[in-house]
Amino acid sequence: MTSPATPARPGGTVLVTGGAGFIGCAISDSLMEAFDRVVVVDNLHPQIHASGARPAELNAAAELIIADVAESSTWDRVLEQVTPDVVIHLAAETGTGQSLDEATRHTHVNVVGTSQLLDGLNRHQKLPRRIVLSSSRAVYGEGAWQDGDGTTFYPGQRTSETLDKAQWDFPNAVPVAMKASETFPAPVSVYGATKLAQEHVLQAWAKSFGVETVILRLQNVYGPGQSLINPYTGIMSLFCRMAMGGKSIPLYEDGEVRRDFILIDDVASAIVAGAVSPRVQGEPMDIGSGEFQTIGTAAKLIAEHYKAPAPHVTGQYRQGDVRHAWADVTAAERVLGWTPQFNLSQGIDRLATWIDAQPDVKPA
């Protein structure tokens, strides 16, 4: 994986929660270049870290503290030895479908974990200059659509009744890109609701204490380094493993579901920019590739890479999935000076090449 462009160097200490995960490892090299000290707090959850060992991808100079962000004692322990100038809050349970079955777990980690962090910072009088939160496009739910007259409306979650009839889109309407300054958030998953709660808790707290906030709503992140054992990390690695085994990739609905697939390299550079940029804004910003692709297009590119059979449409659906999602990234470009660098074809090539090089990967 290539490192993001060398950032400005504010120096000082950065504290990264969940920093031994996919995104945390991807930003660790750049953070070591930008800060004097990088401290990572992560519980090395077995769903992500099967061996429980420190990830090799985490920069060797980063200090790793194995602890649970949702426990008050964690912050007493950490903040006794760390005075953060910037906090990057990545720690979260991320499974959209899983959150429906484990709502308490997701709420505890995502919401209580955030409030415990903030309470700890206040309790120890170690308020950082800035907190960067990795949020999610899941806060929008189905997002905004426009009818034939150009009027914007919010259709809400699709029902089983309409999905059983293969009515995938909303009649006589077109979807609109997700834009934090315009699109009203209306999550349709427990996970999305907890991410929106994170945003609200952080903003209310930070404004009271004069702490800068950078809230980045990430679209579908994928790429080298993502977990190949976690079934909730997204479809791209699963599609690669299916095609690797010579299978035809199954496409839910009609294969025309739109998604904004953003390579981890671009996500990493956005988060680092949020940590070091001299200019920030307190309101959320969207991070995506700058364009949408259909699930069918992504599957076709992966199948071609592996010379696998063409993908096939199944007509199945997953309850709680939104129909279309992609980002308007103009705010992040304007405020942070960040732009995505990789298109879908480049990203798939990087992901598949990395997966092919893994010694223990098995076809799905």
Q: What is the dihedral of CA 311, 316, 319, 321, to 10 degrees?
A: 30
Which alpha helices (DSSP H) does 94-189 contain, by range? 98-101, 103-107, 113-123, 160-164
Q: Which residues are catalytic?
A: 191
**Any domain includes 363:** no
**Any domain includes 180:** yes
**The tokens of 98 are what?**
């899983």
Beta-carbon contacts of 208 under 8 Å, excluding residues fewer than 6 positions away, are: none
CA distances from 92 to 20, 75, 126, 240, 280 (A): 12, 16, 22, 25, 23
Residue 247 lies in domain: 13-356
CATH number at residue 118: 3.40.50.720
* Rounded CA separation 327/334 (Å): 14
| pLDDT tens-digit series, residues 293-348 | 999 999 999 999 999 999 999 999 988 789 999 999 999 999 999 999 999 999 99
Which alpha helices (DSSP H) does 251-320 contain, by range? 264-276, 295-306
Number of domains forming the structure of the chain: 1
**Any domain includes 8:** no
**Any domain includes 1:** no
**Any domain includes 315:** yes
pLDDT by 10s per residue, the chain, length 364: 444 445 668 889 999 999 999 999 999 999 999 999 999 999 997 777 667 789 999 999 999 999 999 999 999 999 999 999 999 999 998 766 666 667 898 999 999 999 999 999 999 999 999 999 999 999 999 999 999 999 999 999 899 999 999 999 999 999 999 999 999 999 988 999 999 999 999 999 999 999 999 999 999 999 999 988 776 667 999 999 999 999 999 999 999 999 999 999 999 999 999 999 998 999 999 999 989 999 999 999 999 999 999 999 999 998 878 999 999 999 999 999 999 999 999 999 999 999 999 988 888 8
**Any domain includes 146:** yes
The three-class DSSP label of residue 333 is helix
Considering the entire predicted model, what is its pTM? Answer: 0.94
